[in-house]
Structure 1
Amino acid sequence: MDSRVLAIVSRLFHVNAGELTPESGPTTIAAWDSAGHMNLILALEQEFGIQFGDDEVAELISVGAINAALARHSVTS
């Protein structure tokens, strides 16, 4: 998993990065609500210098999905 993704998720949702797994998402992180999701997307776009499409944003509902999307955008650690 990309350490920058873990750091962003950890910071935004106040969770320990060491406890995050690819399955971590809104169902396992209480603070990951719709507003938090949009803040996460914005933080990821800024950190990685990319822009996610509208359809893609809706699919980024876990740390694993985020890492897969970044791989599709050819972003590397």
Structure 2
Amino acid sequence: MMDDEIKELVAEIFNIEEEDVIPALSQDTLDNWDSLNHLKLVTAVEQEFNISLTMDEIDDITNVEKLVAVINTHKS
């Protein structure tokens, strides 16, 4: 399940509506999910959830579903 905080962060970083943030949203389906916005997303997630992501985790975040999974791994 996707947390409202995650939806809000993703919507803010990519300048889209929260209702458009779905698990399948990815680098392939969103034109402005580029390297700069990916870095902004990672930084925002680390700050918001007080976690540190590994390089492998950062590279693995290619869609919202994977982002949620990585965050949940750190929260548990």
TM norm structure 2:
0.92
Q: Which has the higher contact order (CA 8 A, sep 6+)?
A: 1
Which residue of the partner structure matches residue 16 of structure 1?
17
Residue 74 (structure 1) shift: 1.9
For structure 2, the 5+ residue unaligned runs are none
Which residue of the partner structure matches residue 55 of structure 1?
56
Aligned residues: 75
- Cα distance in 1 between the residues matched to 2:74 and 2:56: 14
Instruction: State the AA in 1 paired with 2:11.
Output: S
Q: What is the CA RMSD across the aligned residues, in angstroms?
A: 1.0
Residue 29 (structure 1) shift: 1.3
For structure 1, the 5+ residue unaligned runs are none
Residue 55 (structure 1) shift: 0.6
TM norm structure 1:
0.91
